[in-house]
Amino acid sequence: MSESKLNVGIIGATGYVGQRFVTLLENHPWFSVAKLAASANSAGKTYEESVRNRFKLELPIPEYVKNMPVYDIAETAEFCDGLDFVFCAVNMRKGEIRVLEEKIAKLEVPVVSNNSAFREREDVPIIIPEINPEHSKIIEVQRKNWGTKRGFIAAKPNCSIQSYVPALTPLRSYGIDKISVCTYQAISGAGKVLADTPEILGNVVPFIGGEEEKSESEPLKVWGTLTGEAIVSAKDIAISAQCYRVPVQEGHTAAVSVTFNNKITKGKIINIWESYVPEIYKYKLPSAPKKFLTYLDKDNRPQPLLDANIGNGMGISIGRLREDNIFDYKFACLSHNTIRGAAGGAVLTAELLKVQGYL
């Protein structure tokens, strides 16, 4: 255990998102990975043994985790002992995840969650640090509701919304009325690699379970208002989403059409994107990209292979802004789903929660 850094546990450490966590947290200036957990199948092995032949990233397994033991998360109290907080990214049933995360919060260990189990709860914030950092205040209400002093759950939103919500947020002052979005989502979003998924090669699957509903509702919560007791979702914007699985390894693309209540020019929109400096940049958080939004001028960008890693996978790239025949404008945008949309977004959220005094 570290005395100078916060000791963090990773639950689901052997999975795709968990593998991103162990690589992103190597040499993190504020957080030290103290414990790893997964299912009973991985427990009792070292991390290296448990992910041998299934380490999915293009990177080597970091040396610092190779010999760490993997705990069975069913032994929750033993795992949580000595931890300052946990990241949780598990492939379990929603009901099981709810029981697990609530148990951890009630053991007074904060949970920064990649899972959707609690995202709909009014006292659980879903945070994109550059967009709604103030929503963390609801943690005080949540602690009262759970009866905890330190423990809470803060969630990261669904990966699919993290390209178009960042692009649309700075345009909200022009009165966004309607959004139609189609997402083209990478296979890593299902925890898989292309080589193990022959059915997606040369193919497009027009269905990802539960994804369209989350893509339509979660942006409204991110843009929601904090009242004394709840986060109330925005009601003034209509969103229609279609979500497709495509043969891409990393990077979720979104094709967006949008109508505004007030007039805005193309030049103004690009200028707003290019000059946007999120409020949290004042904190100089270690995982924040130098530039949050980047407009790419070439007609054939953004592309997952060329642009998903912008800002170390934490930046959002946007392109092809043009007028539309039905809506006002349409454009494309892209984010790295397992970094910005999963582990990296969660690490940035934890950094924010630390400077805000919640961790």
Q: To the nearest whole angstrom, how small is the minimum distance from the Cβ of residue 3 to ligand NAP?
A: 28
3-state SS, 5-57, equals CEEEEEECCCCHHHHHHHHHCCCCCCEEEEEEEECCCCCCCEHHHHHCCCCCC
3-state helix, strand, coil in the chain (%, to 5): 35, 25, 45
Residue whose CB is less far from ligand NAP, 135 or 340: 340
Residue whose CB is less far from ligand NAP, 41 or 67: 41
Q: How far is the C-alpha of 214 from the C-alpha of 234, rounded, in Å? A: 14
Residue nearest to ligand NAP as judged by C-beta position: 15
E strand residue ranges, the chain: 6-11, 31-38, 70-72, 85-88, 111-113, 153-155, 176-185, 225-226, 231-232, 238-245, 252-260, 293-296, 316-323, 329-335
The tokens describing 239, both together, are: 């969103």
Q: To the nearest whole angstrom, how small is the minimum distance from the Cβ of residue 316 to ligand NAP?
A: 15
User: Is 159 one of the catalytic residues?
Assistant: yes
SS3 117: coil
Residue whose CB is less far from ligand NAP, 54 or 235: 54
Q: To the nearest whole angstrom, how small is the minimum distance from the Cβ of residue 288 to ligand NAP?
A: 19
Q: To the nearest whole angstrom, how small is the minimum distance from the Cβ of residue 94 to ligand NAP?
A: 9
Residue whose CB is less far from ligand NAP, 89 or 288: 89
SS3 306: helix
* Options 80, 88, 135, 252, the catalytic residue: 252
Q: Which residues contact 136 (CB under 8 A, 6 or more apart)?
A: 125, 127, 154, 352, 353, 356, 358
Q: Which of 210, 265, 213, 264 is nearest to 240 (CA)?
A: 213
Rounded to 10 degrees, the C-alpha dihedral 93/98/104/107 comes to -140
* Options 80, 88, 159, 333, the catalytic residue: 159
Residue whose CB is less far from ligand NAP, 208 or 269: 208
Residues contributing to the site for ligand NAP (CB under 6 A) = 12-18, 38-39, 41-42, 73, 89-92, 114-115, 159, 188-189, 191, 337-338, 341-342
Q: To the nearest whole angstrom, how small is the minimum distance from the Cβ of residue 299 to ligand NAP?
A: 28
Which of the residues are catalytic? 159, 252
